[in-house]
Structure 1
Amino acid sequence: MENLFDFLEKKIKIENGTENEIQITEEVVETEVFNIEIAKKEIDEKHLKYLQELKDALVNEETVKSSGLEKRDYIRLNSYVGSRLDTDLRGKSSARKNIEAELESNKTQAFSIDQLEAVSIDEDIFGDKEDKFLIVDGSSLLSTSFYATARDLLFAKTDEQKEFAYTKLMMSPDGEYTNGIYMFFKTLLPLLKNQDITHLAVVMDRSRDTFRREIDSQYKANRSETPHPLKSQFKLLTELLQEINIPVFSHCNYEADDFAGSLVKKFEKDIPIFLHTKDEDYIQLVSQYTRLWMVTGKAEDMYSEIGIDRTNLNVPRGVFEYTPNYVKHFKGIEPIQIIDAKAIEGDKSDNIKGVKNVGPVSSRPLIAHYGSIEEIYNNIENLDSKSEKELLVFFKETLGIKRSPLKNLLLYKEDAFISKKLATIKTDIEEVQDLHLAKLALDINYNIMNKRFENLGMNSLIKK
């Protein structure tokens, strides 16, 4: 489509022998370029036509897809272009007076491409910054923060060694353990500032006896007891966040990721969402609206693998930003199919059984082809001997599965479906459904926060 800049340039372009210089001569002014009445009419029509096409394109899925951009980036860019064209139309009266004045004096002007101001892509050329909703897995961040400053505890084996390691942990003047909370805020506060976060929620685990224990009593039964210096900080952190006006979501019947999932499904079409965690369960929540900031020591290698220089991205250090395409690249399946992968592969950290002796090498091609474990079982059950042989050939020659998982899939079907229930993040917690987005707008009470930091002996975190 010919835009306004191209339209005007076409009418005035006369090359003077150099690549970047364009000159408007008196002859062009008199004969072709600015027949003022025609130009005004054509420019207005071009503006209006372009505005209408922009509006139509913003709701046309095929047009958005063909642009190669994420939907929200496409809308953001074209909304900006449209608003600038609209502004041009509103201010055309004064602009025309200037044009007419110049034409009347028959001025000859030289225009150089070099005169155009270069604008960095990182500059805020869009006016108001885009809203960003950050959901922090508080349990993950607090635990990571705790052990990052409790190295002696990691190597302690006996109770005596553990108790000695506890004495080295950071504490408040009143004797409260604070090392995890300190690092939690040392990570969170710069994150909010550097990423221009406008909305925030922290989700926390409260108990292991959630609804999943009703599905399988052995769920997470293999985990050791949480050290009491860390357990005490869960309670203290929750209270502190609430005091300084940061929304916290926690309930004994749900896990942190269940609240994250419910918040995502409630608001992801209203605002871009970013999930901050080191828990791979959250991958299932990634969509065109929701990105995952996965905390991982492999982030640099992952960016290198896909040919991206992380320094050119506006993402936090030490995280890899998962999009649907990057999930597909690294996991071989769609984000939502992570649930089916756990159903078959299991998860030792959560004591999810899965299908015995069937791992990613077999499960990922099956899931990618059939789509879900339900469809897998629809295609492998109740086969006669001939059909079963043909299926095994298909597994090997088409899906590249050398060692057939068929026997174990059939034998451990019940475990697979129970595992899928355990691996599925709940996205419809009732308490979230009536929540308004405005309640999550970032509104930290820094006065209270500074006083609490002072009381806890964390003076380096005080914002002046």
Structure 2
Amino acid sequence: MLIQETEQNQSVLLVDGMALLFRAFYATSYSGYIMRTSAGVPTNAVFGFVKYFWDAVQTFQPAHVVCCWDMGSKTFRSEKFTDYKANRADCPEELKPQFDLVKDVVESFGVPNVGLSGYEADDCIGTLADTYSKDRDVYILTGDHDMLQLLHERVRVIIMKKGQGNYAVYTPETLMEEKQLTPRQFIDLKGLMGDTADNYPGVKGIGEKTALKLLQEYGSVEGIIDNLASLPKGVRAKIEAELEMLHLSRELATIRCDVPVSCELAAGCWEIDRHKVIAKFEELEFKGLSKLIG
């Protein structure tokens, strides 16, 4: 049985595979129990990933689906700033073998796995979104608010909220309503306030509240720097002392949309072979998942 795209909907769903896999791992292992096959291979993250993935595809009904992945911890960002993401805990041992397993499962759905050494999944998503959105709508499925910088007229960002099937769908308009920021200003916000999750500091002493106020008044980092003389003395001193780090932090926050990665849209056509998917589920001993796909 093949489930095919319709002529009415030609949208693309770009899946942040890392975000879904990590979310699935921690959501299913917090009690200490790890699902495993009879051979002892851990599968809890892959199992959870499939449930998140399938729910999103059914909810947003894309014609094409592509899944993007990080390809190791060394990227151009870690080369520019050695402390980038250096605060991250080591990957749990039970998760490590699931990186290859989940890509096999994604492949069984007929969905391309895309990644590029030296870049993050975000950069692959940004580049593909820029390419595909020239003539169709693009949805980005993630839990990472950094993706909000990619919003534009034909690109929406779906933020996964707590609980399966709970999504916040952002457009440039909803970002403006919620944060009073444009997608471009979202990058400047991160440059000013830094990012504790990715471990870059921004301007020490400037938090989100001050950064938002500055951007709303002066429009951009460049606008703020051009008006340093008008700033309160304390704020001015902080920015002047950290100008180099401000520019570096903004560069680290910027998702690249020009990396050398491509994926023919036809390769991501949502057209699943149910028998192939079920065979993969049986191989991984995923009891109960087969009924998901009818």
Q: What TM-score comes out, normalization by structure 1 length?
A: 0.59
**Greater relative contact order: 1 or 2 (C-alpha under 8 angstroms, separation 6 or more)?**
2
CA offset digits 1:327-380 (Å, max 9, x no partner): 112222111211111101000010011000001222112223333212321232
Distance (whole Å) between structure 2 residues aligned to residue 186 and residue 213 of structure 1: 32
**1:274 positional shift:** 0.9
Among residues 251, 263, 284, which one is paired with 1:421 in the alignment? 251
Q: In the TM superposition, what whole-angstrom CA distance separates every residue of 1:419-450 from its partner, at most 9, and x where no partner exists? A: 01100001011122xx4322221133322211
- Residue in structure 1 matching 2:12, options 123, 133, 144: 133
- In the alignment, the residues of structure 1 paired with residue 9 and residue 107 of structure 2 have an alpha-carbon distance, to the nearest angstrom, of 26
- Aligned-partner SS, 1:240: helix
Q: Give the % identical residues.
A: 31
Q: 1:340 aligns with which of 188, 192, 195?
A: 188
Give the AA of the match of 2:257: T
The aligned counterpart of 1:374 is 222
> Which of the numbers 442, 445, 451 marks the counterpart of 2:279?
451
Q: Distance in 2 between matches of 1:404 and 1:270?
A: 48
Specify the alignment match of 2:95 in structure 1. Answer: 230
Structure 1 stretch 184-193 or stretch 134-143: which is displaced more? 184-193
Quickly say closer, same or farther: Cα 1:128–1:267, change in 2 above 3 A.
closer
Tell whether the 8 Å contact from 2:116 to 2:261 is kept in structure 1 after alignment. Answer: no
- Equivalent residue number for residue 195 of structure 1: 60
In the alignment, the residues of structure 1 paired with residue 289 and residue 211 of structure 2 have an alpha-carbon distance, to the nearest angstrom, of 47
Which sections of structure 1, spanning at least 5 residues, go unmatched? 1-126, 153-164, 300-315, 381-387, 396-402
Question: Are positions 1:149 and 2:14 aligned together?
Answer: no
Could you tell me which residue of structure 2 aligns to residue 319 of structure 1? 167
Q: Is the helix fraction higher in 1 or 2?
A: 1
- Partner residue, 2:3: none
List structure 1 segments (4+ residues) > 6 angstroms apart after TM superposition: none
The residue type equivalent to 1:332 in the other structure is Q
TM-score by length of 2: 0.92
Amino acid at match of 1:248: N
Segments of 5+ residues of structure 2 without an aligned counterpart are 1-5
Encode CA deviations 1:61-97: one digit per residue, 9 max, x unaligned.
xxxxxxxxxxxxxxxxxxxxxxxxxxxxxxxxxxxxx
1:37-52 equivalence runs, <5 A: none
**Corresponding residue number in structure 1 for 2:240:** 410
Hey, what's the Cα distance between the residues in 2 that align with 1:231 and 1:211?
23
Larger radius of gyration: 1
Aligned residue for 1:317, secondary structure, equals coil
Q: How many residues align?
A: 287
Report the CA distance shift for 1:211/1:445 in structure 2 as closer, same or farther (over 3 A): farther
Name the counterpart of 1:359: 207
Alpha-carbon RMSD across the aligned residues, in angstroms, is 1.9
